[in-house]
């Protein structure tokens, strides 16, 4: 058994000071220590996959990251680990607890995952080793992990057994009360523009300093087709993770960070609204381009027609939210959102459909990530990051 500080000190010496995750009782001493240290960032994520997305955004904005979760949550993280970190070459440390680990009789819901946890990391091609339980083992373990991430630009996992870290009491944790701002309705009710027209209008209204993260599917493909720039990040996979990544970026930068989300993708990780509301980065603008369908996969209906995204954002603590359905209203919302402290959400109703023969980004994901990271450099909140 080691103290939390015996792990966190050497971790910080290696530059890792951005933490996110979802708790497990095995992680309690570590999370509480991180939460109680104002010099460290801990983002309480709504799901493990969201945590991976937030950490990826933070990495793009110059931070070195650690994501903690229970092995039950490894399943929730598989999608972004395979379709975000892997294709984009985005590293992070993972600490995954091992419920139903060796010699541990545990609850029925942990049995199967406990039996396959290391193998699941093998299948994911994520190298792993036991979480160090002796002081002298911490530095070599971290050196090995950091060396792997430096060479391969991929995640590295520590698997933590029960009782690895001493419990030294609960830290004082205070969550800000949601401050949900006003909703402005600019709905007109006429013919709606398509996604591409909405994105073109947005690009015309955004300053050159804006970083843009586009959700998976035709959204990113259309953005690439309209214009391919260093400040665009096309999420080719990790559906639902654009807003989480946007949060990770916005927390660490001063420029406007714009998320082009889809209704289906936003619904897939609706909990991210709460995480964004609680962290409240004032430079984040979340655009939900709502065509009421999974347009990219053939136009199947989503449940969005029953959802009021502006009210959801307000309830989660966004500083402002708008509803609109025409280009004039959309650009007005956007300039209001950019002129006042966020986070803001704009629920833009659009028509389904896309141009025929739509291409795909020809710039490969690792390059997209690295030029995006370079673009952010002048805007980092901490200039030494
Ligand atoms: C986790 C996951 N599930 C399903 C898919 C398949 N998929 C790709 S794009 C897409 C539709 C996204 O819908 P929406 O966010 O509403 O955007 P739209 O296509 O309408 O612009 C789906 C279901 C995926 N890539 N990842």
Q: State the CATH number of the domain containing residue 358.
A: 3.40.50.970
Q: Is 384 part of a structural domain of the chain?
A: no
Residues 82 and 206 in one domain: no
Give per-residue pLDDT as tens, 274-328.
999 999 999 999 999 999 999 999 999 999 999 999 999 999 999 999 999 999 9
- Of 198 and 173, the structure prediction assigns the larger pLDDT to 198
* C-alpha 257 – ligand 1 centre gap (Å): 22
Is the model's pLDDT at 173 over the cut of 80? no
Residues 238 and 118 in one domain: no
Q: Are 238 and 316 in the same domain?
A: yes
Q: Is residue 175 part of a domain?
A: no
The position carrying tokens 């709504």 is 46
Task: Evaluate whether 276 touches 270 at the Cβ level (below 8 Å).
Answer: no
Q: Which residue has the higher pLDDT, 359 or 373?
A: 373
Distance CA 114, CA 129 (A): 15
Does 177 fall in a domain? no
Instruction: Looking at the structure, tell me whether residues 193 and 319 fall in a common domain.
Output: yes
Are 120 and 210 within one domain? no
Are 107 and 241 members of one domain?
Answer: no
Residues 228 and 314 in one domain: yes
Q: What is the largest CA-CA distance in the chain?
A: 68
Q: 107, 129, 160 — which closes off a domain?
A: 160
Question: Does residue 81 form part of some domain?
Answer: yes
Q: Which of 120-134, 171-185, 203-217 has the lowest mean pLDDT?
A: 171-185
101 and 189 inside one domain: no
DSSP 8-class letter at 84: I
Task: Print the domain residue range for 46.
Answer: 4-160
Whether 385 has a pLDDT exceeding 50, the answer reads no
Residue 188 has pLDDT above 70, yes or no: yes
- pLDDT value at position 179? 81
- Ligand 1 pocket, mutate which of 49, 239, 287 (most atoms under 8 A from CB): 239
Q: How far does residue 283's CA lie from ligand 1's centre (Å)?
A: 26
Burial 39-68, CB ≥16 within 10 A → b, else e: ebbbbbbbbbbbbbbbbbbbbbbbbbbbbb
Ligand 1 site, CB within 6 A: 79, 195, 215-219, 237, 239, 262-265, 291, 293-297, 302
- Cβ proximity of 268 and 240 under 8 Å: yes
Look at residue 172 and tell me if it is in a domain. no
Domain-located, residue 385 = no
Mean pLDDT of 116-120: 98
Virtual CA dihedral for 264, 57, 37, 176, nearest 10 degrees? Answer: -40
Q: State which of 129, 160, 191 marks the end of a domain.
A: 160
Q: Is the pLDDT of residue 174 over 90?
A: no
Q: Is the pLDDT of residue 237 over 50?
A: yes
In a domain, 173, yes or no: no
Q: Is 78 exposed, middle or buried (0-12, 13-18, 19+ CB in 10 A)?
A: middle
pLDDT exceeds 80 at position 169? no
Same domain, 142 and 258: no
Answer yes or no: do 153 and 90 share one domain: yes
Predicted confidence (pLDDT) at residue 384 exceeds the cutoff of 70 = no
What would the pLDDT profile of 11-64 be if each residue is shown by its tens digit? 999 999 999 999 999 999 999 999 989 889 999 999 999 999 999 999 999 999
Judge whether 218 lies within some domain. Answer: yes
Mean pLDDT estimate for the chain? 96
pLDDT at 106: 95
Separation of 262 CA from ligand 1 center, angstroms?
8
357 and 267 both lie in a single domain: yes
CA nearest ligand 1 atom 17, residue:
262
Do 126 and 213 lie in a common domain? no
Percent of the chain with pLDDT over 70: 97
pLDDT one-digit tens code per residue, 362-371: 999 999 999 9
Residue ending a domain, among 126, 160, 194, is 160
| Structural domains of the chain, count | 2
Q: How far is the CA of 217 from the centre of ligand 1 (A)?
A: 6
- Could you tell me the pTM of the whole model? 0.97
Condensed to tens digits (0 to 9), the pLDDT of residues 95-108 reads 999 999 999 999 99
- Whether residue 111 is predicted with pLDDT greater than 60 in this model: the reply is yes
User: Which residue lies with its CA nearest to atom 12 of ligand 1?
Assistant: 294
Estimate the crossing angle of helix 4-13 against helix 135-152, to 10 degrees: 40
pLDDT for residue 382: 83
Residues 210-236: what's their mean pLDDT? 97
Distance (Å) of CA 318 to CA 49, 178, 182, 272, 367? 21, 8, 9, 11, 32
């Amino acid at each position: 058994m080691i103290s939390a500080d015996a792990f966190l000190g050497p971790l910080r010496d290696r530059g890792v000071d951005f933490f996110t995750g979802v708790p497990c009782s095995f992680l309690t001493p570590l999370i509480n220590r991180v939460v109680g240290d104002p010099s460290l960032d801990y983002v309480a994520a709504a799901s493990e996959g969201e945590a991976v997305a937030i950490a990826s955004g933070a990495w793009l904005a110059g931070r070195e990251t650690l994501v903690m979760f229970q092995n039950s949550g490894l399943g929730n993280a598989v999608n972004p680990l395979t379709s975000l970190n892997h294709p984009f070459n985005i590293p992070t440390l993972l600490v995954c607890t091992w419920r139903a680990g060796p010699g541990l009789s545990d609850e029925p819901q942990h049995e199967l995952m406990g039996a396959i946890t290391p193998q699941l990391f093998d299948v994911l091609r994520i190298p792993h080793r036991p979480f160090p339980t002796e002081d002298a083992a911490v530095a070599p373990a971290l050196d090995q992990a950091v060396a792997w991430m430096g060479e391969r630009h991929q995640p590295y996992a520590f698997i933590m057994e029960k009782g690895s870290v001493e419990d030294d009491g609960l830290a004082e944790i205070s969550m800000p009360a949601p401050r949900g701002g006003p909703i402005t309705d600019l709905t007109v009710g006429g013919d709606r523009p398509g996604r591409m027209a909405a994105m073109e209008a947005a690009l015309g209204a955004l300053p050159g300093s804006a970083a843009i993260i586009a959700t998976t599917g035709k959204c990113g493909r259309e953005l690439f087709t309209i214009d391919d720039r260093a400040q665009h990040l096309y999420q080719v996979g990790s559906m639902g993770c654009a807003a989480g990544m946007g949060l990770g970026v916005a927390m660490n930068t001063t420029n406007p960070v714009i998320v082009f989300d889809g209704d289906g993708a936003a619904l897939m990780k609706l909990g991210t609204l709460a995480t964004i509301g609680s962290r409240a980065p004032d430079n984040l603008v979340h655009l939900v381009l709502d065509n009421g369908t999974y347009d990219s996969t053939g136009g199947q209906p989503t449940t969005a027609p029953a959802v009021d995204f502006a009210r959801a954002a307000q309830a989660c603590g966004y500083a402002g939210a708008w509803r609109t359905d025409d280009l004039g209203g959309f650009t007005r919302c956007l300039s209001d959102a950019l002129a006042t402290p966020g986070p803001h959400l704009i629920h833009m109703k659009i028509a389904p459909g896309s141009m025929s023969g739509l291409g795909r980004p020809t710039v490969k994901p690792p390059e997209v990530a690295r030029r995006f990271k370079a673009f952010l450099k002048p805007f980092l909140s901490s200039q030494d990051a």
